[in-house]
Chains A and B, each alone.
Chain A
Amino acid sequence: MKKNDLILQTTTKVVTFIIIIFAIHLFFAGHYTPGGGFVGGLTTSAALVLLLLAFDIKTVSKVIPFDYKKVAASGLLLAIVTGLGSFIFKVPFLTHTYSYFNLPLLGKTSLATVVLFDLGVYLVVVGVTMTIIQTIGESE
């Protein structure tokens, strides 16, 4: 008997975006309010897991064709490169800096290099969680 997951799938289609937006909010707000790369990454993967639950692995990997191992690797690379970047300015490894800019649309905004590092953390967390879940899910 084929199960009909219509309600679940429809709700998922709506909720996933809300979760992802919340995750992005958590990520960007991390420097000033609770949140950050780690929680943001976990929440993003929660959204992806919800997709996995509502649909099946094949569909999800067709829609989001990421190799999560590469996601994790690129996150790690980003974090290290951010650290190495401080060598260009002849300061110790992983020295961060920040400044305020007047951007169009957003107005006065502070931009900090820690966000790049945090992005690395974010990508690693998403990549790692999804790799684990996908691997276990696919195994018989």
Chain B
Amino acid sequence: MSWLHLVILSPFLLALFVPLLYRKFQRIHTGWFVLPLPLVLFIYFTQYISGVSKGETYLHSMKWIPSLGINFDAYVDGLGLLFSLLITGIGTLVILYSIYYLSKTKEALHSFYVYLLLFMGSMLGVVLSDNLMSLYSFWELTSLSSFLLIGYWYKREKSQYGALKSMLITVFGGLSLLAGIVLLYVMTGTFSIREIISNVDVVTSSHLFIPALVLILLGAFTKSAQFPFHIWLPDAMEAPTPVSAYLHSATMVKAGIYLLARLSPVFAISATWFFAISIIGLITLFWGSFSAVKQQDLKGILAFSTISQLGMIMSLIGVGSAAIHYDFLDDNIYLVALTAAVFHLINHATFKGSLFMVVGIVDHETGTRDIRKLGGLMSFMPVTFTIAIIGGFSMAGLPPFNGFLSKEMFFTGMVNVTKMDMYSMQTWGILLPIIAWLGSIFTFVYSMILVFKTFTGKYQPEKLEKKPHEAPVGMLISPVILASLVVIFGFAPNLLESTLIEPTMASIAPSLLAEGKEYQVHIKFWHGFTPELFMTLGVIIFGILLFMTIQKWSKIYTRFPSSLTLNNGYNYGIKGMEKGSTRIMKTLMTGFIRDYLLIIFTFIGILLLMTLFSQNAFAIDLKDTASIGVYEAILAVVMVAATITTLLAKSRLTAIISLGVVGYTLSLFFVLFRAPDLALTQLVIETVSVSLFLLCFYYLPEFRKRKVRVKFQLPNLLVALLVGTTVTLLGISANSTKLFESISHYFIENSYEKAGGENMVNVILVDFRGFDTLFEITVLCIAALAIYGMIRLRLTKEEEE
């Protein structure tokens, strides 16, 4: 246990005390008690920057289940540090914002902060774990706490729906991630990420490589809301806005990106990785930005915008994996994609966080988030408007904000793909920059909608629930800080270059670094007249055109049939699964014993027959069979006749009697085959059971005594024939294959010698195998007591009544 472990676990520890603090200090907003923790953690993590930027890493081990190789190993390197700073930094701001956002009196604050702290701790655990198993545990904890946070207003039906949906999708991904982790373990024999990376040759040459890759991709795509798993994110917007700002823009949805970046050194060598991530990322980018334009809800726009931006980062990581194929660090043109991914990761967290907070303020101060009702708020909320402009323009990729820089680099990365001389990229690689460019145009459009539809245009006071006014200062602090970061990173990206971006790239693509070398990243505004610049100009021109004419072309969204949407697919899928399982249940679980028996017998017959013939076990060997005497033949005929009578009898009485005939014939068989003890017992027992049957018959209700033959049913006949044949064939085969000498010789020789008895059957029953007899008489006792209990208990009950 080191300080680092304590840091990861500290949110969990604080979460234990939050309800207590909430009860004890009702006058103080609980958030104030929570606020110092992320701040302290943030300061703690900043101390790592100087070491990490020099290429140092820190590893602290803690034993958890050492016998299984599962340890809680905390590991700090560039990537982990970047995410930790994001989590704690934005966490601080979000908690500060939530103090002013959530009412002290109306809300269940203790549960809110418990969930939020749980989430913060598990997210730190995800990004700082070196052991895949502890990473997975924290991963599922983020899903769980996010489920709790989305369903925070649990009385709303939509919250429940959104929480359930996100839970189902992310847990599905989480489980496939677990499967992927297990496959990695099978390949390398370790859960440690660093050891897996050092054994990367074993992984890439294994036949499990592709399954593991696909499973891990599934985990990352579901968590990071990639197409087609993005559908949970818009519904997660039912959560309180601080939660949306924190989880669904800055941290949790980036867990998938973190995972891919973390495992990039393992998988990036394969073409599947390159194609899957870049293409899914680009589809998500385009689809997210395209869908964001039609949203009427501000948070809906931001949700689809997040999806689209995550797709952009994904595609950059995918394209950046091409860099691994080039040995030279200098003039490796694909590295720029990785740089852009890391840079945009930071940028997106800053501007999306601030935009969510802006939307929260608008919602809080006007009572609605519907852009059709909003408008002309500029003069009421000047500060909020400024923040929205900064965030929105940065998101659209306009200078001089940081979004412009990362968007330029994004275009560079995508344009470089066309120069690729592998994966036959020359032919259709050109599609990638085009899709990216189209997506960026829509990004521009929805950013403008977000900013201008809300704050400019006509003011419609009659549609608003409250009279709008500027938000309290406390609520504005966090978005102001984030917006200033947007501007600062825009003007001075070199602040991030050596401190965060370079060490992060060293974690994502370590194989490119020679001993003692470091990445040299330089981000600059002006590249000269490059294709990227013209692409940005095109984005702006077409974006403005589209924004101006939005009334005319927005009808195409209604053209798309709603029955073909993914959401509809999800809903129908869930409903269909429920209906299907109900139907299967109802078909199989009829409640009739006859149906269950039919199933059981069919399976017994089929399984045994299949085994018999697939193993070639069927055999007929007449060598050891005795000759058939006249008496046996006669008895057999009698028995068969009695059996047929039992089956075809019209009255039950006949059936009982003929069953008795079968029993007595059996005891005659015992006589013939020289088993006097069995014959005696069989005679008496048959008598007893026949009289019991008669007793039952005597007490049957009148209408059941009608003389009706057993109804003929073909399935019953077939199954009965099947089972009969099976057992007969089995009997013949078993009799024909004698593998061992019988043990009976021992009994014959020793029953008098050792046990002092001449009746071998009895000696076996009471001496050699007395143990069985002991429990058979116990069974008898139980049966007697059960009958006694059944009859007597019923009687006493009647007496009471």
Contacts and interface: CB of A to CB of B under 8 A. Distances in A.
Interface of A: 26, 29-39, 42-43, 46, 69, 72-73, 75-76, 79-80, 83, 93-94, 96, 98, 110, 112, 114, 117-118, 120-121, 124-125, 127-129, 131-132, 135-136, 139-140
A36 B766 contact: yes
A15 B774 CA distance: 32
Contacts of B685: 42
Nearest to B774: A79
Interface stretch (B13-21, B468-476, B778-786): B778-786
25 contacts: A29-B759, A30-B762, A31-B757, A34-B676, A36-B762, A36-B766, A37-B766, A42-B684, A79-B773, A79-B777, A94-B774, A96-B766, A114-B755, A114-B757, A114-B763, A117-B773, A125-B777, A125-B780, A127-B781, A128-B781, A128-B784, A132-B787, A135-B792, A139-B795, A140-B795
A118 B777 CA distance: 11
B746 interface: no
Interface in B763-801: 763, 765-767, 770-771, 773-774, 777-778, 780-781, 783-785, 787-788, 791-792, 795
Interface residues of B, number: 36
Nearest to A96: B767
A125 B680 CA distance: 15
Given A38-B681, A69-B784, A33 B758 contact: yes
Nearest to A34: B676
Nearest to A42: B684
Given A73-B781, A76-B781, A39 B755 contact: no
A72 to B, nearest CB: 5
B579 to A, nearest CB: 48
B695 interface: yes
B684 A131 contact: no
B676 A94 contact: no
A132 B784 contact: yes
Interface string B746-761: 0000000001111101
Given A72-B780, A125-B777, 19 more contacts: A30-B759, A31-B763, A33-B758, A38-B681, A42-B688, A83-B770, A96-B766, A98-B757, A112-B756, A117-B773, A121-B777, A128-B780, A129-B688, A131-B784, A131-B785, A131-B787, A132-B784, A132-B788, A139-B791
A121 B784 CA distance: 14
Contacts of A128: 780-781, 783-784
B787 A34 contact: no
B784 A120 contact: no
Nearest to B788: A135
Contacts of A36: 677, 759, 761-762, 765-766
Contacts of A43: 684
B153 to A, nearest CB: 62
Given A34-B676, A39-B684, A121 B766 contact: yes
Given A110-B756, A139-B791, A121 B676 contact: no
Contacts of B763: 31, 114
Contact of A76 (B676, B756, B778, B791): B778
Contacts of B767: 96, 114
A129 B684 CA distance: 11
A63 B761 CA distance: 35
A29 B757 CA distance: 10
Interface string B438-468: 0000000000000000000000000000000
B162 to A, nearest CB: 62
A39 B677 contact: yes
Contacts of A38: 681, 765
Contacts of A35: 677, 680, 759, 762
Given A76-B778, A127-B784, A136-B787, A98 B684 contact: no
Contacts of A75: 777
Contacts of A94: 770-771, 774
